[in-house]
């Protein structure tokens, strides 16, 4: 079996960890920041060195292509290079580095391939500086309005827009270079799992079947403000206590549903948030994810059972946003599984909880994903880690998957 190279993989991870290095084991590499642009330049330099032709589109997505032996549609692989604040050295970037390693292996080992192979770098996946997340794949795949995205303002510099950052980056290209179904054979994105399942089960490769559907609800509890020292407990309408009771109810009920359901109250705000005043308005969120729409319906049924009045406080709720379960192209999912088996790597099928650019791309072109384990399940933090050995296994599966696709 053809193999990617351990030392080259390790070198790539080390080199790209320097762009935005926090000095504490992680990176802060916001989209189109100086650090991100430096990482992109290194990407271009390395890809040109192996003979790739590099283009960029109007959202600064980068495409580095090595030609095939026939005039056929392209096979894409890659991910994003931007990070959250104090993020890790693997989220996103590993999908780019493994795709680079696959391209380098194909070139250096002179592996014959009919289709052009393109390494893609998506712009602004994290949305950490310019909202929303998955911005550029979203524009290309028709999810977001481009003008709205160009006007998106930086969280760190008031008034500084994504459009201005785009102009300044030197990576803005032409719309005609966008990922395009008419000349695309397939897209395969490798990513770290960002969760603990693969490591806990001793699995090398996650064969990703799709991305979980999710709902995000916002609840408002309305009570009555009052003096913390004078209002007897029985006369209170404490909105925070009502929220606590409701969160407990949600946990009790949702824990009885399918074991794969994950749900989170990650955001809470209390008004007036002063220690001597009984809270009169509290807002909380509920994020719930599952691959089966039926389970999401059961979550909704639990929400609808919440009474209008809890602890004498009024309760209302509304859907903030939701997304449907995304299923990847089954033929490609099978190739990933087959490739892992051919190397003798342990593997299992899995759904992604987090969103990825690939979930937008599937609307446009045949798409799938490959997961590698995250040690301890940690992600979006500096201790995010995947050993080089696991990264290499991922690169090998990616290489083999691409070669299977190439034969079709």
Shortest CA distance to 335 belongs to which of 363, 368, 365? 368
State in angstroms the smallest separation of the CB of 87 from Zn ion.
9
Question: Which span (21-29, 87-95, 128-136, 399-407) binds Zn ion, by CB under 5 A?
Answer: 87-95
Is the Cβ of residue 91 or residue 281 nearer to Zn ion in the bound state?
A: 91
Nearer to Zn ion (CB atom), residue 68 or residue 78: 78
Confirm or reject binding of residue 189 to Zn ion (CB under 5 A).
no
- Shortest distance in whole angstroms from residue 255 CB to Zn ion: 29
How many chain residues bind Zn ion (CB under 5 A)? 2
Q: 336, 402 in Cβ contact below 8 A? A: no
Q: Name the residue nearer to Zn ion (CB basis): 206 or 223.
A: 206
Least CB distance from residue 316 to Zn ion, whole Å?
34
CB 90, min distance to Zn ion, A: 9
For 235-266, b/e burial (b = at least 16 CB within 10 A) is ebbbbbbbbbbbeeebeebbeebeeebebebe
Q: Which is nearer to Zn ion, 359 or 401 (CB)?
A: 359
Residue whose CB is less far from Zn ion, 92 or 213: 92
Closest distance to Zn ion from the beta carbon of 80 (Å): 6
Calculate the CA 372 to chain-centre distance: 14
Q: Residues 7-34, buried b or exposed e (16+ Cβ, 10 A)?
A: ebbeebbeebbebbeeeeebbbbbbbbe
Shortest distance (Å) from residue 161 CB to Zn ion: 23
Q: Which is nearer to Zn ion, 91 or 238 (CB)?
A: 91
Regarding 92 and contact with Zn ion (CB under 5 A), the answer is yes
Subset of residues 158 to 187 that bind Zn ion, contact rule: CB under 5 A: none
The end-to-end CA distance of the chain, in Å, is 19
Q: Please tell me whether the peptide bond between 272 and the residue prior to it is cis, using omega within 30 degrees of 0.
A: yes
Binding residues for Zn(2+): 80, 91, 126, 191, 380
- For Zn ion, the closer CB: 91 or 101: 91
Cis peptide before 132 (omega within 30 of 0): yes
Q: Are 328 and 108 in contact (CB under 8 A)?
A: no
Q: Minimum distance from CB of 205 to Zn ion (Å)?
A: 17
Report if residue 357 touches Zn ion, rule: CB under 5 A.
no
Tally Cβ neighbours within 10 Å of residue 276: 8
Query: Residues marked as binding?
Result: 80, 91, 126, 191, 380
Tokens linked to 74: 């392209």
Measured CA to CA, the distance from residue 193 to residue 372 in angstroms comes to 6
Judged by CB under 5 A, which stretch of 86-94, 168-176, 204-212, 298-306 contacts Zn ion? 86-94
Stretch that binds Zn ion, among 92-100, 168-176, 263-271, 361-369 (CB under 5 A): 92-100
Stretch in the footprint of Zn ion (CB under 5 A) among 51-59, 84-92, 242-250, 266-274: 84-92
d(CA 320, CA 185): 36
Burial of 37 (0-12, 13-18, 19+ CB in 10 A): buried
Residues between 370 and 389 that touch Zn ion (CB under 5 A): none
Minimum gap (Å) between residue 294 Cβ and Zn ion = 28
- The residue among 210, 246, 186, 32 whose CA lies nearest residue 121 is 32
Is there a contact between 222 and 280 (Cβ–Cβ < 8 Å)? yes
213-272 residues in contact with Zn ion (CB under 5 A) are none
Task: Give min distance, CB of 191 to Zn ion, in A.
Answer: 6
Three-state secondary-structure class, residue 202 = coil
> Between 277 and 375, whose beta carbon lies closer to Zn ion?
375
Residue length, the chain?
A: 408
The binding track of 309-338 with respect to Zn ion, each residue x by CB under 5 A or -, is ------------------------------
Stretch that binds Zn ion, among 88-96, 106-114, 131-139, 203-211 (CB under 5 A): 88-96
**Among the residues of 50-157, which ranges form H helices?**
93-108, 135-140, 146-150
Alpha helices in 282-329 (DSSP H): 293-304
Among positions 91, 104, 238, 311, the unique one binding Zn ion when judged by CB under 5 A: 91
Residue at shortest CB range from Zn ion: 92
Question: Of 68 and 394, which CB lies nearer to Zn ion in the complex structure?
Answer: 394
Residues engaged in binding Zn ion (CB under 5 A): 91-92
């Amino acid at each position: 079996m053809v193999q990617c190279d351990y030392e080259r993989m390790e070198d790539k991870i080390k080199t790209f960890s320097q762009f935005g290095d926090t000095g504490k084991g992680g990176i802060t590499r916001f989209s189109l920041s100086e650090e991100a642009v430096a990482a992109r330049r290194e990407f271009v330099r390395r890809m040109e060195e192996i003979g790739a032709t590099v283009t960029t589109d109007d959202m600064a997505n980068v495409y580095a292509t090595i030609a095939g032996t026939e005039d056929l549609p392209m096979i894409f692989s890659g991910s994003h290079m931007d990070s959250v604040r104090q993020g890790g050295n693997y989220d996103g970037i590993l999908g780019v580095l493994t795709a680079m390693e696959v391209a380098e292996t194909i070139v250096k080992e002179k592996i014959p391939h009919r289709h052009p192979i393109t390494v893609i770098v998506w712009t602004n996946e994290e949305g950490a500086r310019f909202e929303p997340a998955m911005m550029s794949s979203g524009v290309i795949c028709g999810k977001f309005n481009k003008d709205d995205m160009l006007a998106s303002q930086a969280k760190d510099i008031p008034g500084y827009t994504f459009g201005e950052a785009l102009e300044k980056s030197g990576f803005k290209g032409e719309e005609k270079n966008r990922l395009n179904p008419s000349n695309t054979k397939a897209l395969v994105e490798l990513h770290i799992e960002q969760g603990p399942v693969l490591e806990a089960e001793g699995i090398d490769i996650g064969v990703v079947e799709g991305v979980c559907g999710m709902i995000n609800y916002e609840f408002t509890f309305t009570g009555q403000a009052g003096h913390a020292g004078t209002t007897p407990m029985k006369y209170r309408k404490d909105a925070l206590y009502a929220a606590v009771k409701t969160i407990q109810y949600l946990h009790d009920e949702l824990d009885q549903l399918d074991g794969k359901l994950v749900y989170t109250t990650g955001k809470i705000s209390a008004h007036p948030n002063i220690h001597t005043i009984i809270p009169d308005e509290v807002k909380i969120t509920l994020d719930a994810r599952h691959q089966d729409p039926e389970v999401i319906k059961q979550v909704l049924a639990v929400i609808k059972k919440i009474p209008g009045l809890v602890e004498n406080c009024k309760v209302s709720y509304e859907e903030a946003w939701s997304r449907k379960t995304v299923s990847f192209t089954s033929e490609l999912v099978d190739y990933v599984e087959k490739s892992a088996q051919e190397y003798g790597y342990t593997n299992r099928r899995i759904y992604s909880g987090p969103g990825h650019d690939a979930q937008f791309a599937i609307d446009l072109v045949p798409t799938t994903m490959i997961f590698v384990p995250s040690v301890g399940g940690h992600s979006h933090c500096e201790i995010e880690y995947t050993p080089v050995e696991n990264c290499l296994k991922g690169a090998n599966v990616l290489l083999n998957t691409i070669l299977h696709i190439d034969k079709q």
